[in-house]
Structure 1
Amino acid sequence: MYDSIFTFLNRFFKKATLFKIMFNISPMYRRSCGRITFVSDDLHVVKVKIPLSYRNKNYVGSMFGGSLFSATDPIYMIQLMQILGKEYVVWDKSTKIRFKRPAYNNAHVTFEFNKGEITEIIEKVKQEKEVDWVKNLKITNGKEVVFTELNKTIYISTKEYYKEKRAKKR
């Protein structure tokens, strides 16, 4: 559903604008309390703010760890899907999360792919047919204080290979 809406609206708006707006109005993402504040025109940089509010405060007044996680969960996957295009399959495979200190104020996180990474992903997928790509993230106070560190593993393959692989498993 979201892909169809995105494809239609992409005729009228830039991808970066749609990425930001559609995430921020999506009911599933709104529940995380995260808000996308910036998306670069090439989609290589996405910034998220997770405001501390009554909706995500836990028993001791810090931000609920689930809110920190859920605000980061879908970004890399959908970001990479949009960068690579429809001929690739991209899935979130796993996340390792380490809580470093309680977040008693707003949290911030930046999702970034550089051009070299994108080129390397495309080349590895050509050679190996499928790749597990690990991205590291830090959720901070917007400065140097780190609340949470995450290692996200993203599965990437060509659509053709993915269909063949799934057909063999049936």
Structure 2
Amino acid sequence: MSFYQQLAAIGSRFVSKHILFKHGFNWSPMYRRSSAKIIDISKDFLQIRIKLAYSYTNKNFVGSIFGGSMFAAVDPIPMTQLMQILGEDYVVWDKSAEIYFKRPAREVLFADFHFRTDELEAIRKKVSAEKEIDIIKTTHLTNKDKNTVFCEIRKTIYIADKTFYKQKRKLKKQAV
């Protein structure tokens, strides 16, 4: 169990999980350095909204938001969001990512992360049948009105049945 998971286990005794998730992310050094903040999160974790400030801390050489800040703002959210939704019976890992810059960003950016209930049911059914799967989630960093896309990030996320995953790792260690 990681340090952050231990803090979450203790903190969830006193505060709702979604509130703890929001503030835990916003206060954690790894996420603060991205200049982003989680500004809204639903109780069921199905919807999360982030805001990426435009400031001296994330401007690049040409005065637009540094691409690394854009990626760092989005990177941890889909995996950890899905971990919270699916629960302890699943293993969830980031597998890969692609980022596509559409235009220079010289304003505050926003991103929305959504999982639909039918999408989650399909994930559960597929994992039940295949034991491990990959999904691709696409996120857009946009202006506040959502009418201008500044970049698109595609994340490939690995999801497995936890029992299957542990057995797979055990067999892999024995083979070595």
Structure 2 CA distance for aligned equivalents of residues 11 and 48 of structure 1: 25
Is the partner of 1:70 in helix, strand or coil? helix
AA in 2 matched with 1:39: I
Matched residue, 2:58? 56
2:162 is the alignment partner of 1:159: yes
Corresponding residue to 2:125 among 123, 128, 149: 123
Shift of 1:86: 1.1
**SS at 2:157's partner residue?**
strand
Match of 1:46 among 35, 41, 48: 48
State TM-score, norm by structure 1: 0.98
Q: Gaps spanning 5+ residues in structure 1: where?
A: none
Amino acid in structure 2 at the alignment position of 1:165? K
Q: Gapped runs of 5+ residues in structure 2?
A: none
Normalised by the size of structure 2, how large is the TM-score?
Answer: 0.94
RMSD: 0.8
CA distance in 2, matches of 1:149, 1:83: 23
* Divergent runs of 4+, >3 A: none
SS in 1 for 2:63: coil
DSSP-derived class of the 2:121 partner: helix
Counterparts of 2:52 and 2:171, CA distance in 1: 42
**Matched pairs, number:** 170
Report the residue type matching 2:10 in the other structure: F
Distance in 2 of aligned mates of 1:135 and 1:79: 12
Deviations 1:59-110 (A, max 9, x none): 1100000000001001011111111111110001111110000001111000
The letter for the 2-side match of 1:60 is V
